[in-house]
């Protein structure tokens, strides 16, 4: 498969920052903002490198438009760092992890509420046993400027930012928008957050034309999830005995 990559090679030394969008299909804001950012950044204004992958999972983005890949029904954000000898989605995760994410000095993965998903904007990150790393990651999460910051108490699992954290890469998840929306205002919200993040990381000067942050970040602990019952189909009513 062809995976689009944008490299903005800065005119001065600095960190390598990696951004991925389109890990899931049906989440358009991250892909839109990532592609626009690639067109807006000028190398002479950049210290370091910004590596942007706006569509990291092309089958899910172009064919399925869902969180799972139409190739094999696998959610790629549950299988990082991937398996080069596994199925198609595990192999894609392994390629992305080895060639795009590894070697980053900072990593942000861009998501939204998908077509069938109601979601509030938030920034997520994982705690590790490394306090210095956790401090860097928390500062990145706050720099985005969103009100809600959720942290998981460990870095287990197959999310790309969790797998990156296990490799000592400061890594965050940024969720913007919901229900598969493609509202330019939501893209602007995320772009502003990415400019603040790049400024925080020392990649760009204080950005102009970025909305001032009017909220205090508030931290929440990721504790668990619940799944709602499926809706009744036609005239049938759902009951545990019939399933
Ligand atoms: Zn997602």
In the structure encoding, which two tokens stand for residue 94, read together?
């392994």
User: What pLDDT sits at residue 232?
Assistant: 65
CA of 229 to the centre of ligand 1 (A): 22
d(CA 67, CA 114): 7
CA of 170 to the centre of ligand 1 (A): 19
d(CA 24, CA 44): 32
In the structure encoding, which two tokens stand for residue 88, read together?
């198609």
Q: What is the CA radius of gyration of the chain?
A: 18
User: What pLDDT sits at residue 238?
Assistant: 45
Q: Where do the DSSP E strands lie in the chain?
A: 6-9, 12-20, 47-53, 106-111, 122-126, 148-152, 171-175, 218-221
Q: Is 209 left (phi over 0), alpha (psi -120 to 50) or beta?
A: left
CA of 114 to the centre of ligand 1 (A): 7
**What is this structure's pTM?**
0.92
CA of 75 to the centre of ligand 1 (A): 9
CA of 11 to the centre of ligand 1 (A): 33
Ordered mean pLDDT values, 10 residues apiece, the chain (243 residues): 96 98 97 97 97 98 92 97 98 98 97 94 97 98 97 96 98 97 95 97 90 90 83 54 41
Q: Where do the DSSP E strands lie in 67-193?
A: 106-111, 122-126, 148-152, 171-175
d(CA 171, CA 169): 6
Per DSSP, 64 falls in state I
CA of 214 to the centre of ligand 1 (A): 26
User: What pLDDT sits at residue 65?
Assistant: 86
- Give the three-state DSSP class for 233: coil
Domains and CATH numbers, the chain: 6-242 (3.40.630.10)
CA of 26 to the centre of ligand 1 (A): 8
């Amino acid at each position: 498969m062809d995976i689009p990559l944008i490299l903005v090679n800065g005119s001065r030394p600095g960190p390598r920052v990696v951004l991925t969008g389109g890990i899931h299909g049906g989440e358009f804001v991250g892909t839109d903002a990532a592609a626009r950012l690639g067109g807006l950044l000028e190398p002479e204004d950049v210290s370091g490198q910004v590596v942007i992958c706006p569509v990291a999972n092309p089958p899910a983005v172009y064919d399925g438009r869902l969180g799972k890949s139409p190739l094999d029904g696998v959610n790629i954000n549950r299988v990082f760092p991937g398996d080069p000898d596994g199925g198609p989605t595990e192999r894609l995760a392994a390629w992305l992890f080895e060639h795009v994410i590894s070697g980053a000095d900072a990593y942000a993965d861009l998501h939204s509420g998908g077509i069938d998903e109601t979601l509030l904007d938030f920034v997520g990150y994982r705690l590790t046993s490394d306090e210095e790393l956790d401090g860097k990651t928390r500062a990145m999460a706050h720099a985005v400027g969103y009100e809600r910051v959720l942290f998981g108490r460990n870095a287990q699992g197959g999310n790309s930012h969790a797998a990156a954290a296990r490799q000592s890469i400061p890594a965050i998840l940024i969720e913007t928008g919901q229900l598969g929306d493609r509202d330019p205002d939501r893209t602007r919200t995320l772009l502003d957050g990415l400019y603040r993040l790049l400024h925080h990381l020392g990649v760009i000067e204080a950005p102009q034309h970025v909305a001032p942050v009017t909220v205090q970040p508030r931290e929440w602990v990721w504790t668990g999830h619940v799944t709602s019952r499926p809706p009744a189909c036609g005239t049938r009513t759902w009951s545990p005995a019939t399933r």
